[in-house]
Copies of this chain bind each other. A is one copy, B any other.
Amino acid sequence: MAASMRLGKAADPERQARLVDAIQSGHLDGMLCASASEVLLLSGYWPVMAASIAIAAADGSVTVLVPEDELELAERTSWASLVPYKPAGLKTLKNPIDLVREPLAAVLKNVGLERARLGLQLGHGVQPASYLVMNEYRSSLPQLLGELLPHAALRPCDDLLEDLKAVKTERELGLLRHACTVAAAGFAAAADAIRQGMSEVEVAATAQAAFDKTPEAEGLERSYGSFYCMSGPNAAKASAAFARTRRRVIEEGDLVMIHANTCADGHWTDITRTFTAGVPSRWHRDIRTAINEARHAALMTIRPERTGSEVDKAARDVMERHGLGREFKHATGHGVGYAAANPNGRPRIHPLSPDVLREGMTFNVEPAAYFDGVGGMRHCDLISVTKDGAQVLSDF
């Protein structure tokens, strides 16, 4: 194993220090993750096929089992010790779970976790797509670990991981800022394209192409994203958990919502702007005023030690005062970064959220009003918490 091991070229000492604290506070000796976002969290490397496995020891040292054809990517983005494993190739028909068996046993022995209290991801989670197709280990990985580590105590560490993902390091904030910056090109192209007679499909494709052609920053490996367009009555449906571009042709006076999730090396944004096709009506201007005020009230409330429910209340009170309480159908926001669109991402900016804001947390603020069968307006920004209050990362 040692012969082929390589050391990643990136660094994030802040993240490694927090990892040491988390393992200690969870009364664990280590953590093992195979979901792509949590491999990213532990190692800086965002797997492509989600077949990598990251193992963190109590001292913060991390080892990642990496499919050989992802080693180059892993080296450039990670600070971990990287152990490549061979894909099945022409010599065998093995599945990934069979392919990792031997190298995983060797790594676990090497890092001294044979009798460890080892934290695993066993509960429900939300994963951004790291590629068009992804591996799922399902129950096969806990089962393999049970076989390989008969003397270890395997424990859920999902909660610890959710807390770790909530607070970003300076390096991670930089990547999120970059993912916001590159999204701007897509929104500008959409704003230019929106007019009566254009279809949602055409507007979204125009925004997507502008984004796709924006050069990636030097040093960044993967800059991805998707743009969506929802107009008129379809914008009313945008309160759903997902966005969807349809074939509808935009009409004069429609509200037209452009939604995007973009990412820089696995760190995701969540951004929405709403435009009017043609001249905004008085009614449109009134809704926009309410949403702007609600956004402002939320931003003014954000600072360390405030709770998610306080921020939600600030925005919701404004919407209610404008008579739009019932139309503001979802929470004011949720944690964003390691996932783009997870309503349970921490901190939850929700009427019932006990989550306490801390410096470095990132989430969206998305006041909105949806009118069934008619239209919808949402303004969604990505925010980070600084010691002085909210900073808008999507400030374009």
Interface residues of A (CB under 8 A from B): 35, 48-49, 67, 69-70, 87-93, 95-97, 121-129, 131-140, 142-143, 201-202, 204-206, 208-209, 212-213, 215-216, 226, 237, 239-242, 244, 247, 261, 329-331, 339-344, 348, 350-353
User: Within the assembled complex, what's the spacing in Å between the Cα atoms of A340 and B134?
Assistant: 10
Contact B69 A241 (CB under 8 A): yes
User: Within the assembled complex, what's the spacing in Å between the Cα atoms of A212 and B240?
Assistant: 22
User: Within the assembled complex, what's the spacing in Å between the Cα atoms of A344 and B202?
Assistant: 37
Contact A88 B343 (CB under 8 A): yes
Across the two chains, which residue of chain B brings its CB closest to A261?
Answer: B132
Partner of A95, one of B91, B97, B124, B136: B124
Q: Which residues of B contact A90 (CB under 8 A)?
A: 329-331, 350-352
User: Within the assembled complex, what's the spacing in Å between the Cα atoms of A131 and B123?
Assistant: 21
Across the two chains, which residue of chain B brings its CB closest to A69?
Answer: B240
Q: Which residues of B contact A137 (CB under 8 A)?
A: 124
Q: Which residues of B contact A242 (CB under 8 A)?
A: 48-49, 69-70, 131
Say how many copies of this protein the assembly contains.
Answer: 2
Across the two chains, which residue of chain B brings its CB closest to A135?
Answer: B126
User: Within the assembled complex, what's the spacing in Å between the Cα atoms of A137 and B127?
Assistant: 11
A and B contact pairs by CB, cutoff 8 A, 21 listed = A48-B242, A67-B241, A87-B241, A87-B343, A88-B344, A90-B352, A93-B352, A121-B138, A122-B140, A124-B135, A125-B136, A127-B135, A127-B136, A129-B134, A132-B261, A133-B342, A136-B136, A201-B216, A206-B209, A209-B209, A209-B212
Q: Which residues of B contact A35 (CB under 8 A)?
A: 136, 138
Partner of A212, one of B89, B133, B204, B352: B204
Other A-B pairs, 14, CB within 8 Å; known A69-B240, A132-B340, A201-B213: A35-B136, A35-B138, A48-B244, A90-B330, A90-B331, A93-B348, A95-B124, A97-B123, A123-B138, A124-B136, A132-B226, A132-B341, A201-B212, A209-B212
Q: Would you give the shortest CB distance from A272 to chain B, in whole angstroms?
A: 14
Contact B133 A340 (CB under 8 A): yes
Contact B123 A139 (CB under 8 A): yes
Across the two chains, which residue of chain B brings its CB closest to A142?
Answer: B139
Across the two chains, which residue of chain B brings its CB closest to A205?
Answer: B212
Contact A139 B126 (CB under 8 A): no
Contact B216 A247 (CB under 8 A): yes
Q: Which residues of B contact A92 (CB under 8 A)?
A: 352
Q: Which residues of B contact A209 (CB under 8 A)?
A: 205-206, 208-209, 212
Q: Which residues of B contact A139 (CB under 8 A)?
A: 122-123, 138-139, 142
* 4 shortest interchain CB distances as A-B pairs: A129-B129, A205-B212, A69-B240, A209-B209
User: Within the assembled complex, what's the spacing in Å between the Cα atoms of A95 and B126?
Assistant: 10
Across the two chains, which residue of chain B brings its CB closest to A344?
Answer: B95
User: Within the assembled complex, what's the spacing in Å between the Cα atoms of A247 and B350?
Assistant: 41
Q: Would you give the shortest CB distance from A41 to chain B, in whole angstroms?
A: 15
User: Within the assembled complex, what's the spacing in Å between the Cα atoms of A352 and B89?
Assistant: 11
